[in-house]
Chain A
């Protein structure tokens, strides 16, 4: 936010990439792409690409992190060095550490952690190509990877970021809209129960605008939810045929 662009980002209700204001970028998800992982998924939201891998439940190391009554959940969000216009120095940054934390907290409510006492569930999220909305894309992919790992869940988690661009509310911000827009609101939700598990906001919005954006995001998450479920079902479709 807060940057200034000489370029108009919305012209006659059309955005730079040709989308309408309430239009999401093309979303595709594939489950089960990393053989070593217990669960995995690859997601593309327009040009934003993320790979999610889940390992666990497995032994907790070091042992003092062990929780007696539930699993210890840890997500690590990371950006590949070549995922951004200017090379991004490998390794954690203050930004990635904060994102990892809010993602962990945004996924935890969906998982029956209490079914896996004294274990650890690791979620690794790698952004391979960044074009805004990476934390939301990562969460959406993570939920699919968790389900692909066979981990017991109350629901999936779907996530998207919307905001305000050139004075208008827009769904699923792309890079320039994120950089030069007036506000950005990432949300994650369990679509079945409508419980919001992640909410951040930066920029400047009126109460009405903010409420409208939240509503817009939640509606989009219902669509994302369908794509998530379909990705999982595609990955296991052979299983419904009778074996013997």
Chain B
């Protein structure tokens, strides 16, 4: 449920190419990255965009492959919208917004083939590495999509494989090797938000509460598009989409500078 007074104010303000926090329509808030803050995780990252803060952890385990991909590792992404992070979040099993967030982040990673899953096969049909990406927003001040995707990317990049005892067929969780995950790509997610006829990047919560729609675009290092997702009730024109694809490619170069 939006706020009609604030919606009207934001629509007018954005139509004049202005934002309440003084940014231009195509700029992000300050971005800060902390690499591997969680000792227990194989890899982790804390991403801060303005007042939005997301903690992402990567855990590795050994399990059975899916029957249709017997020689490939398994990627599982999950997001927990903890009530700790916003007065709007409720405790309980993940609801549609949490599931969408995890799936949009997952799609960019999966479709860009960021992780070389075949290299994660230990024994075909029987044992493969499983990569768990867990996304925990700590403070939701808008644009969890881009913050979470960047966090997942950096956590994966810094994740070290735990030791695997082949004789005992057991993972020794507390012993990390020096080996990193086999990675081939670095997909960056850019999400555009629309209020009225204005389209802008990196919505803060006050803006995000009033949006008509949004679109997330995952861009690879080769400047190809790996995944997209349009969300909420409003619409985009073909012309808008074409221009946003172009803008996402440009903007992804800027975001790449934060990858550590």
Contacts and interface: CB of A to CB of B under 8 A. Distances in A.
Nearest to B79: A90
Interface centre among B44, B84, B87, B174 (most CB of A within 10 A): B84
A82 B44 contact: yes
Interface string B78-116: 101011111100010100000000000000000000000
Interface string B132-145: 10101011110000
Interface SS of chain A: helix, strand, loop or mixed? loop
A87 interface: yes
B57 interface: yes
B55 interface: yes
B83 to A, nearest CB: 5
Interface residues of B, number: 34
Contacts of A122: 83
Contacts of A28: none
Contact of A124 (B41, B82, B141, B173): B82
Contacts of B87: 36, 55, 58
Interface stretch (A1-9, A73-81, A229-237): A73-81
A53 interface: yes
Interface of B: 37-42, 44, 51, 53, 55, 57-59, 61, 78, 80, 82-87, 91, 93, 132, 134, 136, 138-141, 171, 173-174
24 contacts: A34-B139, A35-B141, A36-B87, A36-B139, A37-B139, A51-B84, A51-B138, A55-B83, A76-B91, A78-B82, A80-B80, A80-B136, A81-B78, A82-B40, A82-B132, A82-B134, A86-B61, A86-B171, A90-B134, A124-B84, A126-B82, A126-B136, A128-B37, A128-B136
